[in-house]
Amino acid sequence: MTDLDFLAVRGTSLADAAGPIRLTGVGLGGWMNMENFITGYPGNEEAIRRLMRDRMGREAYDAFFEAFMTDFFGEADAAHLASLGLNSVRIPFNYRHFEDDAAPFELKEEGFARLDRVVSLLARHGIYSILDLHALPGRQNQHWHSDNPTHVAEFWNQRHFQDRVVHLWEALADRFKDRPEVAGYNPINEPSDPTGEVLPAFYERLERAIRAVDPRHVLFLDGNKYSTDFSFLDARAEPMENTVYTAHDYALPGITSATAYPGVTRGEYFDRTVVEQTFLRRTEYMRRTGTPIWIGEFGPVYSADRSQDPWRLRLLQDQLEIYREHGASWALWTYKDIGLQGLMTISPESPYLGLIGDLVEKKQRLGVDSWGGSDAGIREVIDPIDALFDREFPGYSPYPWGRQPHIAVLVRHILLAEPLAEQFADRFRGIDPVRARELAASFRFDACEERAGLSEVLRAHLRE
């Protein structure tokens, strides 16, 4: 096992015993927090799991997910990340691995064991882990990645949900307090508190609770509005001790239907200078307070036919160079998926995509996924709604992103996702445990394909 030292905040840097260290890594999206674009299902995780359990029966359902949890990330995956020169992995997880809504505050050992297995695997290859609570009870933001079946973030309205998160983090801190291979704790992914008032008070409460158990590990705190807005900290005189404030820095050309970079996206010209200005705006609080910068998520999505890969990889190279020039640590999103964004992708010939591939195409046609999706195929539905809002509610701009994304959530990502989720689950009806494990094995490292161009960009950058 490779020895790793505890990390701590020292001025503008993270540091181990030998001195400053810059974290360069990936997010392990889709594993302990499943997401629709990563593994191919429509809607949110809790709903698809419930539907699959209904169609498959408990035995086959358990066989699939027990295998999936092991096959999605194993020894070969950790070795591959080390071979790229990466030194850290942000591990997102859903609270449901640790606690059931029907039994709040009763923690489940199997969740800790799953997390511990991967932390230990990574440590053997000299890789730090950052523990990221990605989906909170009550949902901390308005979208699918917090396992939200609605468009309402109830976490900020209910003390009960907040109490459960404090309780879970106390348990996590107790479990990992003596583990230097854990770089630190990322307690809330992409909070989206409409008032901006609950979040700072909750961060202070959470910091006290964690520090009472574990005073040593670094805290990685996301900004509000999906980790892009730090104005909620303006009233705070000093940053918290041993804390990194983390921004997410998706560049617009990389996550839209843009056709060129440098070039015009949604009426705005983007080149390296504009991308850097966005980064500087999102990290203003860190630079003003002299605290380390960690970009907890960033990275382009890729076109299905790979025709746009060259300019999207150029955008990625620009971002990596900007981060290095400003001493920023980073975690690229994401490690493994079915083809949109991952360093590793499952094979188009895999049993899993053989089962659900046409439904993935249907999702794309209907624009059901928020991430990487498009409404181009259903404008006959969206255009009349837009016209109605233009006529009846011209000034309507709901939090967090305004009217058009709000309509997209309600129509595409909820209304159309719900019946499509039923069709997805139907594909698993009658599958026995043996077949279930074969399907899950589609995500094993040796069954996946490397996105070679992306890997080479990372290798080249980390060699320099």
Residues annotated as catalytic are 190, 297
Is the peptide bond preceding residue 194 cis, with omega within 30 degrees of 0? no
- Degrees, nearest 5: CA angle 363-319-288: 115
Establish how many alpha carbons lie within 13 A of residue 96's alpha carbon, considering only the half-sphere containing its beta carbon.
Answer: 19
Cα gap 308→315, rounded to integer Å: 11
**Residue 105 neighbours by CB under 8 Å, 6+ apart:** 99, 164, 167
Which DSSP helix (H) or strand (E) runs through 25? strand 24-27
Beta strands in 223-343 (DSSP E): 243-248, 263-265, 268-270, 293-297, 329-332, 336-337
Cα angle, residue 437 at apex, residues 435 and 441 outer, rounded to 5°: 115
Rounded Cα gap, residues 151 and 77, in angstroms: 34
- C-alpha separations of 100 from 156, 163, 364 in Å: 19, 14, 32
β-sheet bridge partners, residue 93: 32, 133
Contact criterion met (CB below 8 Å) for 89 and 129: yes
Q: Give all strands of the β-sheet with 336-337 in edge-to-edge order.
A: 336-337, 344-346, 448-450
Instruction: Identify the bridge partners of residue 244 per DSSP, sorted by sequence position.
Output: 220
For 402, counting Cβ atoms within 10 Å of its Cβ (0-12 exposed, 13-18 middle, 19+ buried), the class is exposed
Give the angle subtended at the CA of 85 by the CAs of 447 and 20, to the nearest 5°.
Answer: 145
Alpha-carbon distance of 161 to 194, in angstroms, equals 17
